[in-house]
Amino acid sequence: MIGYVTLGTNDLVRAAKFYDAIAAEMGVGRMMEFDRFIAWGAPGSGAGVAATMPFDGGAATVGNGVMVALEAADTAQVNKLHAIALANGGSDEGAPGARGDGGFYAAYFRDPDGNKLNAFVMGAG
């Protein structure tokens, strides 16, 4: 149902560096690119993520309670995505690890603009 998620940025070059690294680890690249907008993913293969300068020309701000969850292949990729995020200007919001019962394994981080993301895998043993 979801085609892509758009996150605001005040520095598209900085956002591009961050999301290029995350996307590369997940096996995708840029699927759309304009002066004020870049989207990562692969057409027809699930939801993509986009960074955009706000259309109204105002400053991009972070939505409280808003988070984008990226489905990883396994726990090793969750760990790697968290490390990539931190190495590319992101900040830690929760180290990789099991959450609750049922095999939910996740790591939480913010991009350089403060948008919250999560890398997760279900059914981790």
* Domain residue ranges of the chain, discontinuous segments joined by +: 4-54+67-121
Q: Which fold has domain 4-54+67-121?
A: 2,3-Dihydroxybiphenyl 1,2-Dioxygenase; domain 1 (3.10.180)
Residues 6+ away with beta carbon under 8 Å from 121: 71, 72, 73, 74, 75, 77, 78, 104, 105, 106
Backbone angles phi, psi at 28, to 5 degrees: -130, 170
**Model pLDDT for residues 22-79, shown as the tens digit of each residue:** 999 999 999 999 999 999 999 888 889 999 999 999 999 998 889 999 999 999 999 9
pLDDT at 86: 98
- Residue 94: is its pLDDT beyond 70? yes
